[in-house]
Amino acid sequence: MSGTAVSGVGNSTDSKLHSHVSDTAGTGVTESATALHIKEEGLEFSSENAEDGSVPPPEERKRKKGPAPKMLGSELCSVCGDKASGFHYNVLSCEGCKGFFRRSVIKSAQYTCKGSGSCSMDPYMRRKCQECRLRKCRQAGMREECVLSEEQIRIKKQKKVEEESGAGHSPSVVLNTSPHTTLMSSLTPEAPPLTPSQSDMITQLVAAQQQCNKRSFSDQPKVTPWPLNAEPNSREARQQRFAHFTELAIISVQEIVDFAKQLPGFLDLCREDQIALLKASTIEIMLLETSRRYNAENDCITFLKDFTYNKEDFQRAGLQMEFINPIFEFSRAMRCLALDDAEYALLIAISLFSADRPNVTNPEQVEGLQQPYVEALRAYTCIKRPQDHLMFPRMLMKLVSLRTLSSAHSEQVFALRLQDKKLPPLLSEIWDVHE
């Protein structure tokens, strides 16, 4: 395939991701992509505010309960020196270090220092070296045994609610008060109701996705046709198939960018963080969207309205079976979960707002944006499947699986370069391909 613009879709070869983010109108399709280099660390899950997962160390659990020491307001975090918010995991620390330690313990994170392993910790450096930050947390006295899992926190919260209510054995029905929402479900005591803001958020996310999909459908006629009558192994046919798939990726990325710009808070991030999040999450979101379009009956995937492909079609377009097979396996696994549009939209938002992405300059802000989507997904899942308490963690684990798939995709990009398939500029930018 030549290095010129992909025919039919996007005729500007110098179009970059910056232009997509800057284009507040969100119209037009330009060259784009499906892969990137992603850290093999677990997904950043939001920390609890009211219930932060702290429990007293074993030797103190039998100690009589009493009021917590009163904060004077001038206390500093024992880890980074920022303003402390209280005692977390046995140490006086700030909210940032509390959340960082909890996430690191839950996902058994392994970090690597790029320096000598002795970075000084302050509110600035804590974002730059995770290994030294975690070491400082432990040196300050933070205890891993004090960290509760998401499930333990949920049980603890539910027990507290039941104790305060005294009974709570009868099911309740939640009607959203917002005139813009239509969610209504019968709940068990274990399923907390959606707040009006959560209901509005979910409704708006689904509507935004549908709007982006409609815009994508309008670009379908511009895609280079799949060669039907040409010699299958001819150079021209191979180039056409590669161009066809590339242009589908272009449309998909434009859809992702348009959707991201409609997420509350995304445009409040600095331009560098917007770019970093889009580059790092695009492949994961594309694979989530791919799984929505998987047909288990014929083992095919349908893009746009009626472009249907099996594994052999992917291979004819230049992809390797080492990458194709995991895509189909992931799609089958996702279909088994039987997620609806709201759950997919929330998962996409959670994937986008992952604070541990490379080159993110303000992870605390990103994490704060992610948290409402995690909480909304948890509440929505409890309402939809009140008897299946494992569905929510299953969904989050699928996001972790996507990190592994993204690594396989990086290898696929390298293989395409060996095949002398030149990628369009924006696609190269997102995949960090330097020709």
Residues in the chain: 435
Whether residue 162 has pLDDT greater than 70:
no
Task: Quote the CA–CA distance of 391 and 195 in Å, as a whole number.
Answer: 20
Look at residue 266 in the predicted model and tell me its pLDDT: 95
Whether residue 363 has pLDDT greater than 80:
yes
Whether residue 260 has pLDDT greater than 70:
yes
Look at residue 187 in the predicted model and tell me its pLDDT: 32
Q: How confident is the model over 123-130, as a mean pLDDT?
A: 87
Answer with the residue of higher pLDDT: 154 or 70: 154
Return the percentage of the chain with pLDDT > 70, whole number.
Answer: 62
Residue among 60, 42, 59, 48 at smallest CA distance from 155:
48
Look at residue 19 in the predicted model and tell me its pLDDT: 60
**Per-residue pLDDT tens digits for 213-222:** 777 665 665 7
Look at residue 50 in the predicted model and tell me its pLDDT: 35
Look at residue 181 in the predicted model and tell me its pLDDT: 31
Q: What is the mean pLDDT of the chain?
A: 73
SS (H, E, C) the chain: CCCCCCCCCCCCCCCCHHHHHHCCCCCCCCCCCCCCCCCCCCCCCCCCCCCCCECCCHHHCCCCCCCCCCCCCCCECCCCCCECCEEECCEEECHHHHHHHHHHHHCCCCCCCCCCCCCCCCCCHHHCCHHHHHHHHHHHCCCHHHECCHHHHHHHHHHHHHHHHCCCCCCEEEECCCCCCCCEEEECCCCCCCCHHHHHHHHHHHHHHHHHHHHHHCCHHHCCCCCCCCCCCCHHHHHHHHHHHHHHHHHHHHHHHHHHHCCCCHHHCCHHHHHHHHHHHHHHHHHHHHHHCEECCCCEEEECCCEEECHHHHHHCCCCHHHHHHHHHHHHHHHHHCCCHHHHHHHHHHHHCCCCCCCCCCHHHHHHHHHHHHHHHHHHHHHHCCCCCCHHHHHHHHHHHHHHHHHHHHHHHHHHHHCCCCCCHHHHHHCCCCC
* 153: confidence class by pLDDT, cuts 50, 70, 90: confident
* 303: confidence class by pLDDT, cuts 50, 70, 90: confident
Q: How confident is the model over 103-107, as a mean pLDDT?
A: 87
* 35: confidence class by pLDDT, cuts 50, 70, 90: very low
In the chain, the domains with their CATH numbers are 17-42+189-430 (1.10.565.10), 72-146 (3.30.50.10)
Task: Quote the CA–CA distance of 277 and 301 in Å, as a whole number.
Answer: 26
Model confidence, pTM: 0.57
Q: How confident is the model over 179-190, as a mean pLDDT?
A: 34
Q: For strand 300-303 and strand 294-295, is the pairing parallel, antiparallel, or unpaired?
A: antiparallel
Look at residue 348 in the predicted model and tell me its pLDDT: 95
- Structure tokens that stand for 357 in this block: 């992405």
* 365: confidence class by pLDDT, cuts 50, 70, 90: very high
Return the percentage of the chain with pLDDT > 90, whole number.
Answer: 24
Whether residue 117 has pLDDT greater than 60:
yes
Look at residue 349 in the predicted model and tell me its pLDDT: 96
Look at residue 317 in the predicted model and tell me its pLDDT: 75
